[in-house]
Amino acid sequence: MDFRQEFIDFAVGKDVLRFGEFTTKAGRLSPYFFNAGLFNDGAALQRLAEFYATAINVSGIRCDCLFGPAYKGIPLVAVIAVALARAGRNLPFAFNRKEAKDHGEGGSIVGAPLAGQVLIVDDVISAGTSVRESVELIRAAGATPCGVVIALDRMERGRGALSAVQEVRRDYDIPVIAVASLDDLLAFLHDRPDFTQYETAVERYRQEYGVARGS
């Protein structure tokens, strides 16, 4: 099984990916809901990190450092660094504080110095605020943001014609790597008889709010 399909199956099994009726921040009625915060035990977090590491390595992206934006990115960047090291790719990592520390070592960045090509890790991209702040921090340190890696790309339009992921690609000219996307979710629903009941609703939602494939 492709690792993307394995990830969808894993997320469903952990009740991180649910089906039903859910109201999004944009006020849309979505037939599915993804909450990465529910990967909340050691085994689940370890497996999640392995999926991220696979997605990063398969993408072929070159980076010198990993950065996790506070708060969700903090545990993510640490466990992803461990998973990559176990796979033979040892990278330094850092994360930021929400408020700069004025004592001790000071500053807002914790961990390795931001240098070279820096890959941002996060759970999802909604409004792109976290990515924008991360890009500013990385550039302020004299490093270069080289991409973003997330768990799920909903491939859903924002206020305009583009999705949040597409806006990040356009605004910063960097790639966004997703462990899985809405395409992968639909493939999972199509191939699993116990979940095909949700396929029509998800496909209908995509027709109404989704962005074009390959955009």
The annotation places the binding site at 25, 33-34, 71-72, 97-98, 101, 103, 122-130, 154
Residue 103: active-site member: yes
* Helix 3-13 with 182-191: angle, nearest 10 deg: 80
CA atoms within 13 A on the CB side of 128: 18
* Helix 73-86 with 42-59: angle, nearest 10 deg: 70
Residue 190: active-site member: no
Q: For residue 86, give the amino acid letter.
A: R
User: Can you name the residues that pair with 19 across neighbouring β-strands?
Assistant: 32
Catalytic residue among 103, 104, 194, 214: 103
d(CA 215, CA 212): 6
Binding-site positions for 5-phospho-alpha-D-ribose 1-diphosphate read 25, 71-72, 97-98, 101, 103, 122-130
d(CA 2, CA 28): 30
Cis ω before 71 (30° cut-off from 0): yes
Catalytic residue among 28, 86, 89, 101: 101
Binding-site positions for orotate read 33-34, 126, 154
Q: Are 59 and 174 in contact (CB under 8 A)?
A: no
Residues 135, 209, 175: CA angle, nearest 5 degrees: 30
Catalytic residue positions, numbered: 101, 103
